[in-house]
Structure 1
Amino acid sequence: MIGLISATAAGRTGCERLAAAWPGRTVLYDDGARPLREVVGAAFAECDQLVLFLATGAAVRLLAPHLRGKAEDPGVVTVDEAHRYAVALLGGHGGGANSLAAAVSSVLGAEPVVTTATDAVGATALDTLPYPAEGALPAVTRALLDGTPPVTFHTDTIWPHPPLPPALIPAPPSMAEKLPPGESATRKNASPEASQGHPREDGSLRTAATGRSEAARPGGAEPTPAERGAEDEAPYAVWLTDRRITAGNTVFLRPPSLTVGIGGSRGVTREEVVTLVRSTLAEAGLAERSVTALATVDAKASEAGIVAAAAAFGVPLLTFPADTLAAIPVPNPSAAPLAAVGTASVAEAAALAAAPGGELVAQKRKSAMATAAVARRHPRGRLAVVGLGPGARDLVTPRAVAELRRASVLVGLDQYVDQIRDLLAPGTRVLESGLGAEEERARTAVAEARAGHAVALIGSGDAGVYAMASPALAEAADDIDVVGVPGVTAALAAAALLGAPLGHDHVSISLSDLHTPWDVIERRVRAAAEADLVVTFYNPRSRGRDWQLPKALSILAGHRAPDTPVGVVHAASRPDERVAVTTLAGLDPATVDMVTVVTVGNTASRTVAGRMVTPRGYRWQAP
């Protein structure tokens, strides 16, 4: 929840505007009955984020007594009296204040003020990645910003993520072959893909390297003074791994890779389950923050201790029918759960059920009343198919921009890549090709996603309309996550320029016979003509294909009057945009090319004040 606090009439107006823009997401702290200091203290304790319509200095003094720590404090944004600036004051990354400042600015027409170093230089901050970050964040971030000392990047396997800071250096391949003493069993059980790493800009792979497991230190003893000194001088590194590794000057990014299966007797306590889970993870050398779910059999779905343990870890509790678990092969079946709940395994089978296609990395461990086992799920790459709109930057949707920034790999037609290159985060790997390589781009995008990357495949207009979504999704299986990002189509952009030609039923038809035989296209044009649909023609004419548009127009002319309005829009929303409204008899096909959209009205369409209008047929409108 976002707390809104003001001390003046102008501030109250700002609070009301934000509350109206974000229904259900805000709380107004403006009762006037309490001192402002008390109001700020209450909101700080109760809310995830705060917007204070106060001077920055006043906000600092009011907030200071309540500060607890970077990981706990809410994100705070201050806004000046004139609503000119929204300042991300506290919790820029962890508290989301930087993005909140941008959101506030969007509503109020203010300018966001963000001073975190990584944002100032346009780099991806390690603590804004979609995975929890642990370790020496300030030291490693400072090294990345300064460019010295060098920081290496290591990974066990590829997980989808935004571009990493370009200053990160891929770990040398030779390091991948040096498994540390005391390496946990999880490495031995890793899939063959676990030896792969993060790709370099040239497409070759950054190979995984390893560090020293915590298991190498007997009894988990504290480092000696000599060891601490060595850690201070240790190489700087970033690890994307679910393994617990002891290393100085290192940030660990924890992927959502682990599921924990839980079995328990009736009445098992939260404390016993939590303790067992933590000891199981520790013994296997696995990171708690990579746990994504606890899992058990349906019969234990309401077991209070197990439910509370899932809440303690901040993860969902997944449950499965006994017959589903009974069908999963496990190394340690038991007669006791078979008699009690109908399956020979709960912990191991549930862990595997929650990680489809994964592997068991910690076999069943027991406490007095509970059992626990851990499975590792395989990464799923992510493919976002993004529509860029008709060409103008202000018609690229905010969601499209967010997906472009989120992708570590961008695949697209070279001329479309040029349109949005400045929107990409530093370090994005760009795979571009020319006209005619649509199939190659589709296959490349899917292959990169299957390799575990976060991929954006771009197309003009809406990617699902005569663009890249269709060939890409024809290649994609259910082993990757796919997200569609709608865009403004050329037909819609042209219609907005022409007036309201699509006010009633309409159809879009491509006149290119490159992928569709002409007899099929002609049959569709005839059907549209007979049905009296407004028709928008895509790809109407090219230098080598100049007869299809006249033929299509002649078909429509057999069903519509010569004075039927026709809209012709060249390069909608681009610098060389041209717009004309003519008639079916007056259209000169020679004025049309491949970047032109031709919209032919139906028998009710008419021209009103130079604009093309197709009536909807409302009863209150005069015919």
Structure 2
Amino acid sequence: MSSQKIAVVARTRRGSQLAARIALALGADLAVPSAWSAPAGAAHYHGSVLDEVRRRWPECSALILVMATGIATRACAPMLGDKASDPAVLCLDEGGQWVIPLIGGHQAGANALALRVAQITGGQAAITTASDTQGLPALDGLGKEHGWQIEPGSATTHAMAALVNGETLGLFIDPELKEQAEQVRGWLAECPSIEEVASPEELAAYPAALAVSHRALACWDTIRPTSIRYTPPALVAGIGCRRGVPAPELRAALLATLADAGYHPAALAALATAELKADEPGLRELASELRLPLRIIPTAQLSALDPAGFSPSAAQQRFDIPGVAEPCAQIAAGGPLVVPKRSFERCTVALALTSSREQTQRLSLIGIGPGDLQQMTLAARAALQSAQVVIGYRVYIEQVRPLLAPWQQVIESRMGDEMARAGEAIDMAAAGRHVALISSGDIGIYAMAGPVFELLRDRGWQGSAPAVEVLPGVSAFQMTSARLGAAIAHDLCTISLSDLLTPWEVIERRVQAAAEGDFVISFYNPRSKGRDWQLARSLDILRQHRPPTTPVALARNVSRPDETITITTLAQLDPEQVDMFTLVLVGNSQSYAIAGGMATPRGFERKLEQRGQP
């Protein structure tokens, strides 16, 4: 998994204050010297700042260093490897006036990050890369948001120098990549001297060149010293197999199919197979090895296709579907077959060309449930595992990490940066990715669906670009009720006691109305170190309307390994028993405790009595 982790490291007291501000705004890790105070969640380091930077280097996608440029340079110098793998590094003065991208301006995204940080500090991003100062595109950053990869050994520095020096660049785009060609021409529209050629061999005549192809280029060794080569993920491989075929055998068949058709292995965007093969260990192992998603095509979708449009297949008789390799490749890719089914001893392989119009701009808002992954819905799990990018609060990311695959990009953030998290998810989905934004419980209840739709409203969203789906999860109050028995069998409401976003006067009126209406009430965010009186005030209101024996459940970390559930009464409840990890579920006036649980009558017994039944 590619993890987008940012760390902000400071050295001085004033620098630590600025670093805390930046870390909060970006949802980044914060590291300050042990001598200085820091917000909750920050890490204190005790040794040299050089050691701290070097310790964090391999685990971060970006480092923001609030310190002198010389110190930052000495810290990073021994760690430098390759521009394709080094993290982005920014250096700031402790006043935040100058934000300097030191390393990874284009490929690691340091220039873009510097602009974001400058907005936070009110300073100036001191971007020095020549292409940016001239308003030219970064040749080493094309298609990054679409998952494009630069071929190792490409002459990125040489080609960029030629571009900024005004030399003519040759450009080859494989004619089969019609959609990608439109994108590349748009990206390069500001370049003053680009000449497009009909074959990659012609690039050898130019001082520098750019090749965009999903094929294995025979001339690559010849043009590599002066060229950048991109291989867009433009192919989906549909694979069918017998039971128990191991991953090495499937891999050999796949690579043979690619090689014989002249395609580059890096051009694979995904593997695809039929629902009836979804549990094949060999297929799942192969997808994991290749760091590719495995798309599972539902049987119903395959059965609706006309078998006449595909090569004859035994699956037509055995499973009433037109085949596996060809239709799965075509459905998953959204484009035409480019290599019909090839049959091997125990498997079949077909290749289809992706269509960005079919495959991109999807945002899945996923409720992952209260903690136990077994409580996660099948639809939510499927969307999570098929997403190219997974974004969430770091605690929730750790919760679902067993379900994630190596090919998925994972972006962790801190609590408190919900709007930034929502904006990043929308932006990445709109740029052409399938993004999963996760929240615990139900994403529509006090969670991330709200910020997402607020931003979509403000941006004038019309229901597409990106397409948005909301996949609900089991909420904490539902899980608590299930543990108790039938606590919410009658009318209920949920109320958050946090006044960070809602004035207390409004919350108090809601508590009063719920008390008078005799609702079962689930209190979220009941108590924290900074908000230690709201629960007590709410209980005082409820005691005016309900018997002192009204059962109350305190459910802490429900469905997680350290779950605890305590049954008490409205009279006996002590707010000191409650923290931010506790859900407080208060019964209505008719609720009762039973065998360590709680139930609320719906009124069936009274209905029977009215009918004269015993």
Normalised by the length of structure 2, the TM-score is 0.50
Query: Which structure has the larger Rg?
Result: 1
Normalised by the length of structure 1, the TM-score is 0.49
